[in-house]
Every structure is written in structure tokens, then in C-alpha cells.
Chain A
């Protein structure tokens, strides 16, 4: 028999049926991830072009604006580069929303939805593939950061934890992007809509200037929003300072965003009947 079958006495061994279903789901997700990685591999220019924007911002803040910004007790390059890491990952994540909107438009999602594959596979596979894109763009930004004078001051373990935090936040955020792609159903609209949360979180934050310089009504949001919290945690981890509180806050935000937007995206995907 060519087709893999659930055990014949599936009711008798429900846990075994569950096990098989789980194995299929993992295979389905792997297939989708493979598809998106192959696409990524065949359009390497996308990764390079995707790195240009954060690279320009890095140069802008390091050499144009950075001279005018005073950071108490530290250098500006060490202050801004961790924020640029997150920025690079978030900009890269926009391809999730644009790509999903494209797949909806081209009819590929229709084919996926007519197949016996697991419902979450299309989204999970894509976000996992996009995570590897994030790893690439993060790698590029680390090299660029070192070139413009950024230095790590912490232990290897602490640095790895910092990078993991960046990627974890980026992954959680990719489910927000997935929701935007599925809700807008159109690549151009998805692109414009995807910039909004990025802009709001990036500029009303501690990414570029210390929150203390902002008007008081903005400080509360700018200090506690998910991106600021994560940037603080990453800075602390890369500086080697006390990081535990900020790290826990960041993980909390990432987990919450993941849970909420995983649910939203899956719901949109299921109902995407148009």
C-alpha cells in the first residue's frame, strides 16, 4: 500500500493515531519550509536587498545622527547596534506578509487548502523558513556592526542568549506579519500595512534615543512596549550587565504575541474563503 494509513483500529489506539497525525503534521510543515527555503535560495538578491535598509540606518545613526546623541555611561555605537539587529530581523519579517498575500493571490493557497495537509502547516512552515532568513540577515548585520565599531562586551553564552532573544522576538512578530498578509490578501497592501507596526514600535522606543529625552506622555509606552523591552534585554546581554528582568519581560511579550497572532493567523487562514 503506497498511502500511509492511520492504524486500522484507530479508535482502539487513539494515542497511536494521534502520534501518526502528529508525524504527518511535522512532515507537512517540513514540506512547506522546504518550499520556502528553496524559494529563498533561488532569490538570494532578496536577502541582500533586504539588508540594505538596515545597513543604511546603521550608517545614518552611527555617523550622521550619532554624534549628536549622548548616551550616559556608554558609546552610541554599542547603544544603537543591538536595536539595528532587531530592526533587520523585523524588516526581513515583512516578507512573511508579502509572501503570504502573494500565495493567496496566485491561487497556491487554494491548492494547499484542498490538500489533506495539516491546517497550521502552511503558516508554520513559512514562518520557520523566514526565521532562517532572519538568521542570515542578523549575520550580515553583526558583520556590519563590527565594521562600524560595535564591540561585544559579554561572555559567549550571554551573546548567544542575546541573539536568541532577537530571533525569538522576530519569530513571534512574523505571526503578526502572517496575520497582516492573510487579512490584506494583496502584496502591495500587505507591504504598506506591514510597515505600520514596525514604524510605531521602532520610533516610539528606546531604539535610537534614550526614553528619558521624550515627553512624559510618551515615556510610558516607549519604555514598556515589546520592542523597547527586548532591545533593553539584548543590550544588557551584549554589554554583560544585569539582564534577568528585561529578558523575562521580553520573553513574556514574545510568547504573548506568538500565542495571540498564531491564533489570529490560523483563524484567518481557515476562513480565508474570499
Chain B
């Protein structure tokens, strides 16, 4: 196994009145995508700013691409690219000028940064707009240019701080595809996001942050397992049947069923799989309880996110290694 590209050890950071990070640990493997998932104010951006040498941590250590983020900050900057939440491109320059200047500041030779700027314009579908001022660009074009600018030095590590926030679905999809291509070529990507689908689609590993600390980490599947696995769920046609349905489902569940009176739904955690589903179906038929819906529901990453980040960190799951048990596949 190769050395991890990013190692974060006990990183803590406080601002005047708030504790932004309270001792964060994780590693990101080389050539993979690590997603930092968390609600607003959970410390994602602070962490990215620390790892990209913009901020010094109060405590803790981190190494990125083999460099210490504090003592080797200067050398590290040649090995990272940063694209921010707010497109950090210059409105009064053209797209090409923006890219070429960043290339110059990565200390590339002139012929080289000109060639790479052209490549990036082509790759990001900005060739026609390349010589127009950025102030005439749409939001999506600016974001593409911003990500493009972070790539011109071909850094082995890329930090993307909420790269698709506010983008339309198509542009988002294009950007995802591009990130996947980059990773396939060996780039390590650390991205922050508050979108579950983004984390699920791109990330090999997800670290969930809440109020400045890691509340869970693992693959998307592992996180779903931690939140409680599959649930057997029914929706009764008549509200009067809710109590009977609850009693019935209890026979198939591993724990107490949960009732949603409003939605006329009853659900229970189960490890019985399809066998339990079929058996339950028979029982409901025997008991003549009319159903609108019956099925096994797997938790979405949204459920994971809400259950992990809603509770205070102390009550939430510790950052334990998930057990590699029979992971249900959707």
C-alpha cells in the first residue's frame, strides 16, 4: 500500500469566539477522492484552508504530498491546486489570461503555460470564450475556469471547496466527470460538499464533519450501515390499521417499529432481506390489512447525514472503524 497523500492528525483551530475545528484526524489515499461532508459551519472550509497553507492550525499536524503543511508550506504550494467556493478568477482579464498568469505563478515556462492554458480551455469547453473578459461569463463558465486554473500546475493534490454549489445539473455532471477523469490519472482530490449525491458519486471515502469534529468516516455503504441498515416499511391504506400494522411488523423487526401517523407509515429495522419482505406480505394479506406500499428501504446518504449531524457530536457515532459486514447492495 502506498503512503497516504493527505494525513491529518489532531488539527484544531479556533477563531476569536468560535472553535472551528476540535481535533480532526483522517487520511486520504493517493489517487482517490475524499469527501468532507458536513453542514454549513461544520469546519469544512477551515480545514481546506489549513491544508492548502492559507491558515495555520492552532494544534495538530498534517502532511500533504509528503510535505508538512506548516514547516514545508512553501514547497507544498507547488504540489497543490485550490479551487474555491467563490470562483477566484479575475473578471477584467480574459479566460486565457487568467489561466496563463496562474501558470506563470506555478513557475512554468512561457511556452508550457500557454500550451496548458489552451488545453484547459478546450477541455472545459471554453475555447470560444477564451479571449473574452471573464465578466461576460456565466456562473458555470466561471466555475469551470476556476477549477481549470487550479489544474494548470498539474498538482498531485487538488482541493475543491464546494465545487458544484450553485451549478445547474448539467454543468455539475460535466464537472463530476472531469474530476473522475483526473482521479483516474492519479490525482488525489479532497472535496468539500454538502450534497450527498456528490459524495456518493465521487468519493472513495467520506469524512463527516459536524461542529468541528469528525463524527463518522468510511465509504458511502459503510456509513449507511452505521446508520442502521435496511428497513422494512409499509404504508397502510386506512389510518385505523396503523396499530395492527405496528404489531405485525414487530414480528419481523430487530427493534421497535417506528410509526409515522401523518404519512400512515410503519417501518422497522430488519436484517431479514427479501425473505422477511415476502413473509410480511403474506401476513398482511392474511390479516386483510390494505396496503398502499410495502418494501425494503435502504437508508440514503441523506439519512446518514441528518442522523449524524443533527445530534450533538458527543451523542453521535464515534469515529470508529466500520465493520465490514454483509453490506447490502442497491
Contact = CB atoms under 8 A, between A and B. Distances in A.
A138 B82 CA distance: 40
A216 interface: no
Contacts of A42: 92, 133
A113 B54 contact: yes
Contact of B74 (A28, A43, A116, A121): A116
Interface in A7-61: 24, 27-28, 31, 34-35, 38-39, 42-43
Contacts of B133: 42
B107 A4 contact: yes
A213 interface: no
Given A39-B93, A106-B88, A273-B54, A115 B108 contact: no
A112 B53 contact: no
B17 to A, nearest CB: 14
B39 to A, nearest CB: 21
B92 A115 contact: no
Nearest to A34: B101
Interface string B234-267: 0000000000000000000000000000000000
A110 B54 CA distance: 7
Interface string A190-203: 00000000000000
Interface in B46-82: 49, 52-56, 74, 77-78, 80-82
B93 A38 contact: yes
B276 interface: no
Interface string A129-146: 000000000000000000
Contacts of A28: 104-105
Given A110-B84, A113-B54, A39 B104 contact: no
Nearest to B53: A114
B178 interface: no
B89 to A, nearest CB: 8
Contacts of B89: 108
A111 B101 contact: no
A121 B107 CA distance: 13
A116 B102 CA distance: 10
A35 B49 contact: no
B106 A108 contact: no
A117 interface: yes
Contacts of B82: 110-111, 114
B93 A113 contact: no
Contacts of A67: none
A102 to B, nearest CB: 10
B86 A106 contact: yes
Given A38-B93, A106-B86, A114 B104 contact: no
Nearest to B79: A116
Most buried by A among B56, B90, B93, B108: B90
B14 to A, nearest CB: 12
Nearest to B15: A274
A73 interface: no
B7 interface: no
B122 interface: no
Interface centre among B81, B92, B105, by most A CB within 10 Å? B105
Given A3-B108, A273-B55, A114 B77 contact: yes
A68 interface: no
Nearest to B81: A114
A42 B133 CA distance: 10
A31 B101 contact: yes
A111 B108 contact: no
Interface centre among A27, A110, A111 (most CB of B within 10 A): A111
A64 interface: no
Contact of A27 (B56, B77, B102, B104): B104
Contacts of A117: 105
Contacts of B126: none
A27 B55 CA distance: 25
A110 B6 CA distance: 20
Given A110-B82, A115-B102, A273-B54, A24 B107 contact: yes
A147 interface: no
B90 A39 contact: yes
In the A-B complex, the 3 residue pairs with the smallest Cβ-Cβ separation, listed nearest first, are A107-B88, A116-B77, A117-B105
11 contacts: A24-B107, A27-B107, A35-B93, A39-B92, A111-B149, A113-B54, A114-B52, A114-B77, A114-B80, A114-B81, A115-B153
